[in-house]
Amino acid sequence: MKKTLLATAVAGALGASVGVAQAATIYNQDGTQLDLYGNIQLAYKSLDNADGDTEDELFDNGSTIGFAGQHIINPGLTGYFKAEFEHDADEEKVGGGVDTGDQAYMGLKGNFGDARVGSWDPLIDDWIQDPISNNEYLDVSDSTTDLGGLYGGTLTDSIDTDREGDKIQYVSPSLGGLQFAVGSQYKGDAEDEFNANGEAENAAGEPLEASSNGSNASFFGGVKYTVGAFSIAGVYDDLDNYDLRDTNTGYEYSAKAYGVNAQYTMDALRLSAKVENTDVDYADDSGDIMRYALGARYGYGFGDVYGSYQRVDADEEVANVVDSGGDDSFNEFVLGATYNLSPAMYTFVEYAQYDRTNDEGDGVVVGALYSF
């Protein structure tokens, strides 16, 4: 699932009449407010797999129920929280109900800025990647979704690297259009450790003990400048909590991610450009995985039309280390459109072409969302 609630909110800011979450206020008294919101998302996909065969499925696209609350501590300080949970609407009878967490955090906001702790999307995702391609299901690849195989050589393997959890973050107020953010993901020595392939073992097949690497705090930060309809942002993330390795060779490596995004918004049109680099260190050498992308979204009155193009270009040595296939460049295209049936319900269709071996990942997805 892509971050649909965020995507619709962005599109709404552009002037498109998209369906947005119709949050219900459960309690609002004496400066304290509690809201309930959510959505049901169902879709059909027909995509090519790594063998070149077409596979289709009716699936849940991230149906969510969420709670949000805030209370005024004093006129210049507000405490708040948010918690979202997911369930499989397509197979609810056997799906176990609301059994998957999405994001959850609490914080303080005021004239000083915004400070929070918990789980939410990486900063590089929000500021650099989303303006290019934050769609309903099909997106161009990036260093967040493809961290398990940083290069994106395979599209069908979904790997949970816990990029969202155990974080603290501070975002400054906008001062003359300038804003900055700093944060850390802290993994203590009592945590169960997993490498970026979602495995609790090292390259030798030995289990990773909870305290094998000790306590560690990563660093991420960014700067954004906005003037009128134009904004530019840069983000750096040292990815310091992840021991990466090639699942085929067992070769271990580390990486850092950073990028720049520029966007221009004019009425219902948003244009965006991105340069993103994943700097991979292996043995006594290093190399880059570069991503150059353009994206556009236009609200036509009854929904959005959008598209993105990305060139992925990796050093050949990195391609061989990270993805044993050794292909070192791709052209990725994604096109999509939404149509609003009501303020709370819309449908969508998306097509993607990823330029992979056997057309892996290419195909179409159609679906619908009802928000409340």
Q: What is the pLDDT of residues 201-236, one digit of tens each?
A: 544 454 444 334 568 888 999 999 999 999 999 999
Whether residue 39 contacts residue 22, with contact meaning beta carbons closer than 8 Å, is answered with: no
> Per residue in 274-328, pLDDT tens?
999 988 877 667 778 899 999 999 999 999 999 999 998 887 766 665 554 555 7
> Per residue in 97-121, pLDDT tens?
777 888 999 999 999 999 999 999 9
> Per residue in 143-190, pLDDT tens?
765 544 444 444 444 344 577 889 999 999 999 999 999 999 998 877
Tokens for 351, please give them. 């097509």
Whether residue 142 contacts residue 123, with contact meaning beta carbons closer than 8 Å, is answered with: no
The whole-angstrom separation of Cα 181 and Cα 176 is 15
Q: How many other CB atoms are there within 10 angstroms of residue 2's CB atom?
A: 19
DSSP state for residue 165 in the 8-state scheme: S
- pTM (predicted TM-score): 0.83
51 sits in which H/E element: none
Q: Can you give the pLDDT at residue 247?
A: 53
The whole-angstrom separation of Cα 100 and Cα 117 is 19
What the chain holds in terms of domains, given with CATH numbers, is 37-62+117-371 (2.40.160.10)
The size of the chain, in residues, is 372
Which of 148, 223, 161, 156 is closest to 187 using CA atoms? 161
The whole-angstrom separation of Cα 322 and Cα 147 is 10
> Per residue in 36-92, pLDDT tens?
999 999 999 999 987 889 999 999 999 999 999 999 999 899 999 999 999 888 887
